[in-house]
Amino acid sequence: MDDDIFQSTPRNPMTWVMITLFLGGVGAVLAFFKDYAMIAAFMGAAGMVVGGFSFSVVYRFPGSDKNKIMYMVLAGAGLMLSVFAFMIGFANWLG
């Protein structure tokens, strides 16, 4: 039995970063439409969860520091878009 809590083969951080950017970007666009505000709020919430996970994937990625910085910046942008989508979508959904 393997007692190592980390995977032996690292996950690809770009996949998780792109999922975060997709959820945040689409959610931010949908947040401005009253009919899709609930979907935007849920996409923003999912983007925040995936964005937090993508930060941990990037942190454990064994690549160069230049790549890690690029992944962190992209994950941060997706996370900010997700927070924006959640806040505006939720406020638009309620009111």
**pLDDT tens digits for 10-46?**
678 899 999 999 999 999 999 999 999 999 999 999 9
Q: What's the burial of 8, exposed, middle or buried (CB within 10 Å: 0-12/13-18/19+)?
A: exposed
Q: How far is CA 44 from the centre of its chain?
A: 8
Question: 49 — phi, psi (to 5°)?
Answer: -65, -50
Residue 3 confidence (pLDDT): 52
**Residue 5 domain-assigned?**
no
| Number of continuous H segments (helices) and E segments (strands) in the chain | 3, 0
**Residue 1 domain-assigned?**
no
**Residue 7 domain-assigned?**
no
List the structure tokens of 50: 């995936």
The count of structural domains within the chain is: 1
**Residue 19 domain-assigned?**
yes
